[in-house]
Amino acid sequence: MPEELDIRGCYIGDLLSNVMAQAQPGDLWLTVMTNPNIVAVTQLLGLAGIVILEGHKPMDEALERAGKEGIMIFSSNDSAYTLAGRLQAMGI
């Protein structure tokens, strides 16, 4: 796993087809989705990582796949709006 993430932007979305069409490599993905498909999409697109919002926790299978693939998954109790504001204030 990387010690630092190279975050170039942020994408907020819960519909996989939209994420696949709109997210850019290096984006940090903010979502409420918790299933293993989030890992596959993150790897496919070269996203910086995943933040699961509103206190949701990733499924065990998602964590296992993320560990194998070197994908970082974080959890936050914040809403997408709140966390996006914080990230923007940090320059992301």
- Please count the structural domains in the chain: 1
* Single-letter residue type at 44: L
- Domain assignment present for 3: no
- Domain assignment present for 79: yes
Domain residues for the domain of 27 are 9-83
Q: What is the pLDDT of residue 2?
A: 56
Q: How many CB atoms lie within 10 A of CB 61?
A: 13
- Domain assignment present for 20: yes
Rounded mean pLDDT of 9-27? 97
Identify the CATH number of the domain in which residue 70 sits. Answer: 3.40.1390.20
Sign of CA dihedral 52, 42, 24, 33: negative
pTM of the model: 0.93
- Domain assignment present for 88: no
Whether 29 and 37 have beta carbons less than 8 Å apart is answered as no
Residue 88, C-beta contacts closer than 8 angstroms, at least 6 positions apart: 10
- Domain assignment present for 89: no
- The model's pLDDT over 51-79, given as tens digits with 9 standing for 90+, comes to 999 999 999 999 999 999 999 999 999 99
Q: Which of 62, 55, 59 is nearest to 82 (CA)?
A: 55
